[in-house]
């Protein structure tokens, strides 16, 4: 049974599905949520913040401790 993409809210079929944070994503939607980055993600380099997925470097820049 197809699910809904966590990014574009369109139907995701099994052959194009990536799973993360309990949501389904299209392969092309499985990128960093930072618009200036758009790096492709995999299970080893993603982090989550408020339901969006980010690469580790953008997550640190946007949400990490400041002043270091």
Q: Where are the domains of the chain?
A: 17-63
Collapsed DSSP state (helix, strand, coil) of residue 47: strand
Task: Report the pLDDT value the prediction gives residue 1, as an integer from 0 to 100.
Answer: 67
φ, ψ of residue 56 in degrees (nearest 5) = -60, -40
Which CATH number is associated with domain 17-63? 2.10.110.10
Tell me, what DSSP letter sits at residue 40? B
The encoded tokens of residue 47 equal 């982090």
Specify the residue for token string 């758009």.
Answer: 38
pLDDT digits (tens, 9 = 90+) for 38-47: 899 988 889 9
pTM: 0.83
């Amino acid at each position: 049974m197809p699910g809904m993409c966590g990014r574009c809210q369109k139907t995701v079929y099994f052959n194009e599905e990536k799973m993360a944070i309990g949501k389904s994503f299209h392969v092309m939607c499985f990128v960093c949520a930072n618009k200036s980055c758009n790096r492709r993600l995999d299970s080893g380099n993603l982090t989550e913040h408020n339901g969006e997925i980010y690469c580790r470097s953008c997550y640190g820049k946007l949400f990490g401790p400041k002043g270091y």
